[in-house]
């Protein structure tokens, strides 16, 4: 059965009508609850009509296990909040396990200069890895110093901490540090980041903004995408949808707290890890204005990034545990 839905937003919440019957004013949680309660998934367009398709089974049966190492490099994109041990352990595994050489970049944190205490690095050291080193600069001149970036040449994994993503780009975009990160991926390494460290992974980068995003240039580690974080917890659907209106060729990845999206960079596949959900936001450039759509991905779900970009008329949802949000 095809159901017609209309959703509009004024930046503080959503107004919803189903089959031309007024539902009321709701938040993101309410929008998703109505859609899932109907047993369907929305092709979501703010201020546009929404087509709803049948919901796919949520058990994820038949999916192959994720590979232990990803030859073309991997990204672990975390939505912020407490990092689940399962996500941290997967990052270490991708970096080489006990042979891992991890570099931690705390530059997004305003107190990064005091970040290098043993206590801050212990979560990685307690995994029994070969080495954990700190890399931090505020000066672009220092970020271009060959001696400064040498740890990146030896690293198998880099972790980028949270804070403000503008601090990362001001220090590192266009420098030897950015080049070193891309070289690490090219040789099969892994780069993980949480909150600001997640937002900086795409070229089109959300810098700030509650309802309307201010954009900047990120590290371009994940082509054809834009990343938003704290996604469900901070009700950022409107912000990401607004970005896609101006960049309908991109896949928007909204990652909630305590959750990560693991991306096989060469294979262009992603897998959701952690405790909550990731939302893939899509837009059809042929629509005027573009009508963003949502695909809800639960832990264990996998998707092909190129298929997501091509499959503008099809989305599949998982069941959502709202008590866990």
Q: Is residue 278 part of a domain?
A: yes
Q: Is residue 259 part of a domain?
A: yes
Task: List all residues 6 or more positions away from 133 whose beta carbon is below 8 Å from its beta carbon.
Answer: 101, 102, 103, 104, 151, 155
Are 148 and 50 in a shared domain? no
Are 91 and 50 in a shared domain? no
Are 48 and 79 in a shared domain? no
Are 110 and 36 in a shared domain? no
Are 247 and 142 in a shared domain? yes
CATH number of the domain within which 227 lies: 3.40.50.880
Render pLDDT for 183-206 as a digit per residue (tens, 0 to 9).
999 999 999 999 999 999 999 989
Are 21 and 131 in a shared domain? no
Burial of 325 (0-12, 13-18, 19+ CB in 10 A): middle
Collect the ranges in the chain with pLDDT lower than 70: 1-72, 115-119, 285-291, 311-325
Are 116 and 221 in a shared domain? yes
pLDDT for position 118: 66
Are 31 and 83 in a shared domain? no
The total number of structural domains in the chain stands at: 2
Q: Is residue 109 part of a domain?
A: yes
pLDDT for position 238: 85
Q: Is residue 161 part of a domain?
A: yes
Are 168 and 206 in a shared domain? yes
Residue range(s) defining the domain that contains residue 198: 74-324
Are 133 and 42 in a shared domain? no
Q: Is residue 13 part of a domain?
A: yes
Q: Is residue 61 part of a domain?
A: no
pLDDT for position 210: 75
Are 11 and 107 in a shared domain? no
Q: Is residue 315 part of a domain?
A: yes
Q: Is residue 110 part of a domain?
A: yes
The model's pTM = 0.77
């Amino acid at each position: 059965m095809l159901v017609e839905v209309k959703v509009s937003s004024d930046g503080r919440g959503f107004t919803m009508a189903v089959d031309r019957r007024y539902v009321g004013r709701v938040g993101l949680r309410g929008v998703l609850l109505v859609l899932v309660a109907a047993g369907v998934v929305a092709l979501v367009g703010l201020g546009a009509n929404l087509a709803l398709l049948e919901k796919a089974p949520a058990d994820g049966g038949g999916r192959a296990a994720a590979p232990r190492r990803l030859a073309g490099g991997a990204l672990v994109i975390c939505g912020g909040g407490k990092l689940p041990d399962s996500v941290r352990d997967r990052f270490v595994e991708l970096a080489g396990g006990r042979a891992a050489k991890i570099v931690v970049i705390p530059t997004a944190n305003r107190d990064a200069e005091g970040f290098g205490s043993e206590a801050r690095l212990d979560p990685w050291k307690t995994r029994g890895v070969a080495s954990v080193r700190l890399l931090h600069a505020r000066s672009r001149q220092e970020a271009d110093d060959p001696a400064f970036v040498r740890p990146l040449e030896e690293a198998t994994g880099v972790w980028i901490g949270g804070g403000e993503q503008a601090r990362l780009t001001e220090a590192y975009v266009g420098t030897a540090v950015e080049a070193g990160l891309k070289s690490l991926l090219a040789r099969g390494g892994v780069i993980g980041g949480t909150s600001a460290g997640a937002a900086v992974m795409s070229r089109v980068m959300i810098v700030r903004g509650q309802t309307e995003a201010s954009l900047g240039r990120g590290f371009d580690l994940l082509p054809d995408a834009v990343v938003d974080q704290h996604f469900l917890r901070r009700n950022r659907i409107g912000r990401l949808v607004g970005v896609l209106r101006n960049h309908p060729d991109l896949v928007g990845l909204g990652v909630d707290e305590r959750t990560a999206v693991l991306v096989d960079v060469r294979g262009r596949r992603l897998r959701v890890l952690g405790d909550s959900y990731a939302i893939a936001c899509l837009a059809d450039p042929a629509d005027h204005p573009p009508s963003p759509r949502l695909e809800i991905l639960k832990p264990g779900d996998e998707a092909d990034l190129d298929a997501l970009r091509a499959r503008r008329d099809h989305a599949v949802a998982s069941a959502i545990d709202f008590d866990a949000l």
